[in-house]
Chain A
């Protein structure tokens, strides 16, 4: 099943390049093939979900074939964490294809090809159980993204992809070296085996830092985030959607799959570093978002702030924190993709991302306004939308680990409301000051078909997130069991009810020493 989900889009990606007919016919065919393939993959994703057993942390749907004489293996399998991220990918992909349906007019077959390849590689990242295989998918997954930005992007696309390249290169070289060392030490490339391998504590720090270099860039964490605003600004709408929706989740996935279970002691040792960077990210990038005049840049900066909730939640190293971080990832995947699509809708009409060129759009696009508002609210974590459940859980976890960190990061809740509502108001409210903006027509049927699923999922995850949380419980629990030996500085006091039972010991425990900022 998982092999099929990787090979099918690859095969069709190849096929789409050899379509018959003239350019027009090729383009039409290519779009249909792209949509059809992604929809089939979505259906396969749902089959995975339906057949998934949430009660166990073990990897499911596993497949294994030795490659190159046992050098490494084509080893696939998913646990709940992989499952939800694969679901996110296959859910967003058809919507991305639809988003570029009309606006991409040049080299359409190649465009569709790039998206299909990317989908295959994304699924590969989340499903590989072999270190070597993971590395290939993880690094190769960015190549189609470069192409999408570089070929179908805006004016400064070369600069943007160049920046992306430099950051990623640095990170991946270090990660590769670390991987080589690990394989030599543990004698296996098998991820489940590595997750159970106890690396020497002194080595963990270096390994952790090497992986961190790569994942922090992908996340992106402050201060290695500056590629993201440029990449988003230059990418076409669908590119931004998939970049924000799925690619940013690879860093978080890396932390939860590699850094935490493989280097638990180092994770505890270095949680102060993650906390410090997360706190800085929330405050600094939120303030930066406040002064942006480019819609996409604003949302890109807000993504950095949201991703800080992921890193903060993960390294709270407790159940609420990790589960919250996962939900933030899912929610941000849906909501930021939706927000980039919202920008794309009006960009397609007016060809500018400059906030000041709009104004009063609600008057001529009232239906669009409803969706834009809904996603704005989800982005600022209004209870009842997907954003709330994640941020609430993540902050609960962080509060448990360290009240200072929670205090600083919770200010993101205030700043987030400020920059998002101000963006919304400047675009949608006020007088219609520009005639061309006032003449924009409301949503088309195609745009409806993208907005509605995104909106429904954002609300579903906000009101009844149980189906999404359920698969996470077992793997997170086993992760916590794994982390337990590292003795993370947790709960500063045990809940009092329990404590009263054990006859009142002093309730104060020490916090982590190294919070900075």
Chain B
């Protein structure tokens, strides 16, 4: 069954990808979507079976390669940790496939799009079912490829392919660490097999090895190398810069890859390797601080962004930070729990954003939204559900998982975890603020659509090409150049609610966003042995979370309410307040809206020097030094006159043959007379 579950998306990818225009849109879409729904059903069956005590299994598919004592297999490992990921991946993927029927309906390249989505799903499934590090790396880079293809799906847009390359290359920086980590683990344990490595971790405690000329603690060093990989894939500071740019991809892609599944692979990796991380205090501390830093960094940046997708992207980045500091404080179950609930509400938020963008004719700038709650009420409702879940309103899924993360950080009681807790509370406040800011700017107030170029185009096209159609709205028949002056700010544009293939996923994800937390709380962060040894889990520790001090207990809720209140005051009650704040704290605002200047610094630190060095090595090194004193210099020696040099050169082949023959003759003579 697990083989069908994993390989069905691959087969669907091949059919849709190779068949492409030959089989047509509908066939390609049906095959991929159908395959995904089957995989999804099988995943839930597997998952429920595992919850009810079905044994973990490890199915060998084929040998991949062997060399000396290194043996790597293709095989599919299914334990409860994998089961959780299977459910998340296939559910969101199936819904995103369905959603894309509506969202991509007018795209000329639909088979390619659906093929890529299925390819992504396959790679992600290979990642989570890997029973060894190399296969995991296959899935790891495979999702990177799919992400590259999907970010650059609209390849004619320079910004899209630039973002695609950036995503791939920045991820490669992470993969560089991951690879070194694999090499080291192989050397330390003599295998790349996960179970063997993880069960042998205790025997390796205290081992040291020489890495880059220094004697270092093996476990700490290798855990940190793996964590570099996790940082790349999960967009943690300082390797986060690709994620906001990745929003160039179509919105369903953002929901599937850059919110619910691929970016959580780093968290999955840390949880999968939890015995390793748990064995190193230093590594765990680093994970905690990096997670906390990302949580707060991304949350601050999100408060200043105008692009609706970028707000959600930074929000994702921030939430991933929560998961990492949970893992860093040893609460791997809580990290996975937050990963699980986050997949639902973040996919929901992205798909809602997609629905808004769809309604607003590809306008993504919230400054040109406003007042949308009346025209797209269902999207509005779903997005509010997503927002109350992410901000952690009581009894929604975000409430359970975020509280578990924060309380665990408190309860662990180390310096790093207490810092993470405080930072987490503040980040929660910001989360609430920017999430509600998004809702208020998009759905409340007066329409500000008329300044949007996209809307102007839409209205213009409607007038230019649809004159023969019935104008349902008789009042916008006048000259479209004046529509910007229309008093209601709508420019005469009338957004429509999205079609049912887009609304059904919203409804299902809304259900998950509301109730997944309550349903699964006792399993993920309970003391019932749900994890069954698939990650480091201390039931007693989680039981203690119910008895944190009152202030700690209420602080997430307080933070949430504070954020909501500020957002309400700033964006509903007193709309001038934001501008006043901007003026007052000009530098802070510039710092935040420029994303702490990471891109600029990297450009100055890496990109420019790389190109500069490349030119130096080429012009000065290869041409100026090696060639000048090498072959070109020799030619000068051989013939000072150009005529001689030319004659010499044109006779090259013959002279070479001659030299060779002379060599052979010399050889023969030597041998005979010796």
Chain A residues engaging chain B, CB cutoff 8 angstroms = 68, 71-72, 132, 135-136, 139-140, 142-143, 146-147, 150, 158-159, 161-163, 165-169, 172-173, 176, 179-180, 183-184, 189, 223-224, 226-227, 284-285, 287-292, 318-320, 323-324, 360, 362-363, 377, 382-384, 388-389, 392-393, 395-396, 399-400, 403-404, 406-407, 410-411, 413-415, 417-418, 421-422, 425, 428-431, 463-466, 469, 491-493, 495-498, 500, 507-511
Look across to chain B and name the residue whose beta carbon is closest to the beta carbon of A319. B68
Contact indicator A508/B652 (Cβ below 8 Å): no
Contact indicator A287/B617 (Cβ below 8 Å): yes
Look across to chain B and name the residue whose beta carbon is closest to the beta carbon of A426. B161
Contact indicator A140/B660 (Cβ below 8 Å): yes
Main secondary structure of the interface of B (DSSP, over half): helix
Q: How far is the CA of A411 from the CA of B212 in the complex (A)?
A: 14
Q: How far is the CA of A383 from the CA of B161 in the complex (A)?
A: 22
Contact indicator A146/B656 (Cβ below 8 Å): yes
Contact indicator B142/A383 (Cβ below 8 Å): yes
Q: How far is the CA of A187 from the CA of B374 in the complex (A)?
A: 96
Contact indicator B184/A382 (Cβ below 8 Å): no
Q: Within the complex, which residue of B152, B156, B180, B610 is in contact with A406, where a contact is CB–CB below 8 Å?
A: B180
CB distance from B14 to the nearest CB of A (A): 12
Among B65, B218, B674, max chain A CB count under 10 A is at: B65
Contact indicator A287/B614 (Cβ below 8 Å): yes
Contact indicator A382/B614 (Cβ below 8 Å): no
CB distance from A391 to the nearest CB of B (A): 9
Which residues of chain B are near A323, meaning CB under 8 Å?
67-68
Asked if B576 is at the interface of the complex by the 8 Å CB criterion, the answer is: no
Look across to chain B and name the residue whose beta carbon is closest to the beta carbon of A398. B183
- Contact status of A466 and B65, CB under 8 A, knowing A396-B70, A429-B152: yes
CB<8 Å pairs between A and B, sample of 27? A71-B668, A72-B671, A132-B667, A136-B660, A146-B656, A150-B653, A162-B631, A166-B630, A166-B631, A172-B663, A184-B674, A226-B622, A226-B627, A290-B611, A290-B614, A320-B68, A323-B67, A388-B141, A392-B134, A393-B65, A406-B183, A414-B176, A429-B155, A431-B158, A492-B209, A493-B207, A507-B208
Contact indicator A179/B659 (Cβ below 8 Å): no
Contact indicator B211/A403 (Cβ below 8 Å): yes
Contact indicator A414/B65 (Cβ below 8 Å): no
CB distance from A314 to the nearest CB of B (A): 14
CB distance from A412 to the nearest CB of B (A): 10
CB distance from B120 to the nearest CB of A (A): 14
Contact indicator B615/A158 (Cβ below 8 Å): no
From residue 59 to 107 of chain B, which have CB atoms closer than 8 A to chain A? 62-70
Q: How far is the CA of A324 from the CA of B183 in the complex (A)?
A: 14
CB distance from B72 to the nearest CB of A (A): 9
Asked if B169 is at the interface of the complex by the 8 Å CB criterion, the answer is: yes
Look across to chain B and name the residue whose beta carbon is closest to the beta carbon of A407. B212
Contact indicator A464/B62 (Cβ below 8 Å): yes
Look across to chain B and name the residue whose beta carbon is closest to the beta carbon of A432. B156
Contact indicator A227/B631 (Cβ below 8 Å): yes
Which residues of chain A are near B674, meaning CB under 8 Å?
184
CB distance from A184 to the nearest CB of B (A): 6
Look across to chain B and name the residue whose beta carbon is closest to the beta carbon of A381. B141
The total of interchain contacts (Cβ-Cβ below 8 angstroms) comes to: 248
Q: How far is the CA of A227 from the CA of B622 in the complex (A)?
A: 10
Contact indicator B165/A422 (Cβ below 8 Å): yes
Contact indicator B62/A421 (Cβ below 8 Å): no
Q: Within the complex, which residue of B68, B134, B145, B657 is in contact with A318, where a contact is CB–CB below 8 Å?
A: B68
Q: How far is the CA of A309 from the CA of B201 in the complex (A)?
A: 31
Q: How far is the CA of A323 from the CA of B189 in the complex (A)?
A: 21
Which residues of chain B are near A395, meaning CB under 8 Å?
179, 183
Look across to chain A and name the residue whose beta carbon is closest to the beta carbon of B145. A382
Contact indicator A288/B187 (Cβ below 8 Å): no
Q: How far is the CA of A268 from the CA of B623 in the complex (A)?
A: 32
- Contact status of A183 and B67, CB under 8 A, knowing A414-B172, A508-B215: no
Look across to chain B and name the residue whose beta carbon is closest to the beta carbon of A403. B211
Q: How far is the CA of A157 from the CA of B3 in the complex (A)?
A: 55
Which residues of chain A are near B179, meaning CB under 8 Å?
392, 395, 410, 413
Asked if B462 is at the interface of the complex by the 8 Å CB criterion, the answer is: no
Q: Within the complex, which residue of A71, A285, A292 is in contact with B672, where a contact is CB–CB below 8 Å?
A: A71
CB distance from B240 to the nearest CB of A (A): 17
CB distance from B655 to the nearest CB of A (A): 8
Q: How far is the CA of A294 from the CA of B621 in the complex (A)?
A: 18
CB distance from B246 to the nearest CB of A (A): 15
- Contact status of A377 and B145, CB under 8 A, knowing A323-B67, A417-B168: yes
Look across to chain A and name the residue whose beta carbon is closest to the beta carbon of B141. A383
Q: How far is the CA of A466 from the CA of B62 in the complex (A)?
A: 10
CB distance from A174 to the nearest CB of B (A): 11
- Contact status of A399 and B183, CB under 8 A, knowing A135-B664, A169-B659, A172-B663: yes
Look across to chain A and name the residue whose beta carbon is closest to the beta carbon of B210. A492
Q: How far is the CA of A10 from the CA of B674 in the complex (A)?
A: 34
Contact indicator B156/A417 (Cβ below 8 Å): no
Q: How far is the CA of A466 from the CA of B71 in the complex (A)?
A: 11
Q: How far is the CA of A1 from the CA of B52 in the complex (A)?
A: 63
Interface 0/1 of B604-634, CB less than 8 Å to A: 0000001101110110011100110011001
Q: How far is the CA of A130 from the CA of B521 in the complex (A)?
A: 74
Q: How large is the interface on B (under 10, 10 to 19, 20 to 34, 35 or more residues)?
A: 35 or more
Contact indicator B653/A143 (Cβ below 8 Å): yes
Contact indicator B168/A469 (Cβ below 8 Å): no
Asked if B375 is at the interface of the complex by the 8 Å CB criterion, the answer is: no
Which residues of chain A are near B189, meaning CB under 8 Å?
495-497
Contact indicator A291/B615 (Cβ below 8 Å): yes
Q: Within the complex, which residue of A172, A400, A425 is in contact with B187, where a contact is CB–CB below 8 Å?
A: A400
- Contact status of A383 and B137, CB under 8 A, knowing A291-B614, A498-B190: yes
Which residues of chain A are near B653, meaning CB under 8 Å?
143, 146-147, 150, 161
Contact indicator B176/A410 (Cβ below 8 Å): yes
Which residues of chain B are near A291, meaning CB under 8 Å?
611, 614-615, 618
Q: How far is the CA of A159 from the CA of B212 in the complex (A)?
A: 43
Asked if B635 is at the interface of the complex by the 8 Å CB criterion, the answer is: yes
CB distance from B251 to the nearest CB of A (A): 20
Asked if B584 is at the interface of the complex by the 8 Å CB criterion, the answer is: no
Asked if B138 is at the interface of the complex by the 8 Å CB criterion, the answer is: yes
Look across to chain A and name the residue whose beta carbon is closest to the beta carbon of B157. A430
Look across to chain B and name the residue whose beta carbon is closest to the beta carbon of A167. B631
Asked if B642 is at the interface of the complex by the 8 Å CB criterion, the answer is: no
Which residues of chain A are near B411, meaning CB under 8 Å?
none
- Contact status of A421 and B200, CB under 8 A, knowing A287-B613, A383-B138: no
- Contact status of A508 and B656, CB under 8 A, knowing A158-B650, A396-B70, A396-B183: no
CB distance from A367 to the nearest CB of B (A): 9
CB distance from A297 to the nearest CB of B (A): 9
Which residues of chain A are near B634, meaning CB under 8 Å?
166
Q: How far is the CA of A142 from the CA of B652 in the complex (A)?
A: 12
CB distance from A168 to the nearest CB of B (A): 8
CB distance from A484 to the nearest CB of B (A): 13
Q: How far is the CA of A176 from the CA of B666 in the complex (A)?
A: 9
CB distance from B635 to the nearest CB of A (A): 7
Look across to chain A and name the residue whose beta carbon is closest to the beta carbon of B618. A288
Q: How far is the CA of A289 from the CA of B617 in the complex (A)?
A: 10
Contact indicator A284/B617 (Cβ below 8 Å): yes
Q: Within the complex, which residue of B64, B180, B671 is in contact with A464, where a contact is CB–CB below 8 Å?
A: B64
Contact indicator B610/A287 (Cβ below 8 Å): yes
CB distance from A105 to the nearest CB of B (A): 22
Which residues of chain A are near B140, meaning CB under 8 Å?
383
Contact indicator B652/A165 (Cβ below 8 Å): yes
CB distance from A163 to the nearest CB of B (A): 5
Which residues of chain B are near A179, meaning CB under 8 Å?
667
Contact indicator A288/B635 (Cβ below 8 Å): no
Which residues of chain B are near A410, meaning CB under 8 Å?
176, 179-180
Contact indicator A139/B207 (Cβ below 8 Å): no
Which residues of chain B are near A285, meaning CB under 8 Å?
617
Q: How far is the CA of A289 from the CA of B610 in the complex (A)?
A: 11
From residue 183 to 228 of chain B, which have CB atoms closer than 8 A to chain A? 183-184, 186-190, 200, 203-204, 207-213, 215, 218
Look across to chain B and name the residue whose beta carbon is closest to the beta carbon of A161. B652
Which residues of chain A are near B663, meaning CB under 8 Å?
135, 139, 172-173, 176
20 additional contacts, CB 8 Å, given A403-B212, A465-B65, A493-B209? A142-B656, A143-B656, A150-B653, A158-B652, A166-B635, A169-B656, A180-B670, A184-B670, A226-B630, A290-B610, A383-B134, A384-B142, A388-B141, A395-B179, A414-B176, A415-B610, A417-B168, A418-B169, A425-B164, A508-B208
